[in-house]
């Protein structure tokens, strides 16, 4: 019987998602790790148009970035 190879889970560092604090929709945003390990910026929700402060934290290789939002 042949052994199955374990596939490493690919960690996507190009996209992240957060739940809009105003409407609850899941929003996908592009991520740019070249802008630093900790980032914050304001972006309007594309669903309800309310402004959110988006926070992004990048960790070591193989770890998913953390993305969350707060209402502005």
Segment 5-57, tens digit of pLDDT:
555 444 567 999 999 999 999 999 999 999 999 999 999 999 999 999 999 99
Q: What are the residues whose beta carbons fall under 8 Å from the beta carbon of 43, sequence distance 6 or more?
A: 29, 51, 52, 54
For residue 35, the number of C-alpha atoms closer than 13 Å in the C-beta half-sphere is: 12
Residue 60's pLDDT band, with cuts at 50, 70 and 90, is: confident
CB-based contact 33:16 (threshold 8 Å): no
Closest CA to 57 of 16, 9, 11, 8: 16
């Amino acid at each position: 019987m042949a052994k199955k190879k374990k596939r490493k889970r690919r960690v996507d560092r190009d996209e992240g998602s957060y739940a809009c604090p105003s409407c609850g929709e899941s929003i996908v945003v592009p991520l740019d790790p070249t802008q630093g390990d900790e980032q914050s910026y304001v972006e309007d929700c594309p669903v309800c148009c309310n402004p959110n402060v988006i926070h992004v934290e990048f960790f070591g290789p193989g770890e998913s970035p953390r993305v969350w939002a707060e209402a502005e």
